[in-house]
A = this chain, B = another copy of it.
Amino acid sequence: MIDYNPKAWFTFIFRIHKADTVRKLFPMFIAIGCYSAVVALLELKVLHLSDIAEWKNIVFVHSVLGFVISLLLVFRTNTAYDRWWEGRRLWGTLVNNSRNLALKLNAMVPASNTASRDFFRIMIPNYAFALKNHLRNKYLPEELEQGPGMEIDEKKHVPNQIAGQIIAHVNDLYRKQQITGEQLIILNDELQAFTDVCGACERIRNTPIPFSYSVFIKKFIFFYVMTLPFGYVFTVGFLIIPIVVFIFYVLASLELIAEEIEDPFGFDANDLPTDTISANIRKHVAEIL
């Protein structure tokens, strides 16, 4: 995620940021500009269609369908943003549960049992790091702090193994009567939250918007922009070239941004700062336990 000051309008408007859609779409701008120029030349200079009113009037299609395309892009934007924001909320839940689990264990586990305290101080943040990399289809053992008896089988589901060891350790403490049954019940919310967050993040990553919508929106934008010059060339002449490019910029940008934030766990410029969040969990848990 890019850290930015939302109130700095000036730099926003004039700087072309690395993640800016202007940069990504630039080749398309040129292609579409040329295309519009060719259409304009053909219609105005070669075919001299301008006196045929029929061609002039097809502009109405674009205003009728302009409405539909806008609403579709709003739908696209909303659903993509909802995933991004749900992903952020899930990582917030992970932060909260890590902290709460540490706070509770700190109050429950006898101060003398340093082995267990060390175990939890190491393993709770490890879950966040393992999940972060799991969502990027990676396994980076160097990011996991080593604890006694921690064995991770890279080929199995890594976060599940860490959660399993934490749950097993808590049940162990219960069996050894270091924590009571009531304390076990109290710890349950946090223990099951780990896997819930993991499953929900996997769901967001694996389920883009239904294929049909994705295809339909792209087809629609394409035909909409490609047919724009046919009619409008007669009303605005060669000014059609920058106009088509600008309209394409607006429509395609919305689709591009939606694609990027739809899966918020990767390395894209707008993705969630899961690295920072994981590091913060490690820091705060260490402060507590």
Interface residues of A (CB under 8 A from B): 1-2, 4, 6-7, 9, 12-13, 17, 19-21, 53-55, 57-68, 70-75, 77-79, 81, 84-85, 88-89, 92-93, 95-96, 99-100, 103-104, 106-108, 156-157, 160, 163-164, 167-168, 170-172, 174, 180-186, 188-190, 192, 195-196, 198-200, 202-203, 207-216, 218-220, 222-223, 232, 235-239, 243, 246-247, 250-251, 253-254, 257, 259-262, 269-270, 284, 287-288
In the assembled complex, 15 residue pairs joining A and B whose CB atoms fall closer than 8 Å, in A order, are: A4-B211, A19-B212, A21-B216, A57-B235, A65-B246, A67-B70, A68-B250, A72-B77, A74-B75, A77-B213, A89-B203, A104-B192, A108-B171, A156-B287, A174-B182
Shortest distance between the CB of A208 and any CB in chain B (Å): 5
- The number of times this chain is found in the oligomer is 5
Q: A57-B236, A103-B160 are in contact. List 5 more A-B contacts (CB 8 A).
A: A6-B214, A6-B259, A103-B163, A107-B171, A160-B287
Contacts of A186 in B (CB 8 A): 184-185, 188
| Contact of A236 with B58 in the complex, beta carbons under 8 Å | yes
* CB nearest neighbor in B for A226: B13
Contacts of A209 in B (CB 8 A): 6
* CB nearest neighbor in B for A223: B246
| Contact of B203 with A92 in the complex, beta carbons under 8 Å | yes
Interface of chain A, helix or strand or loop or mixed? helix
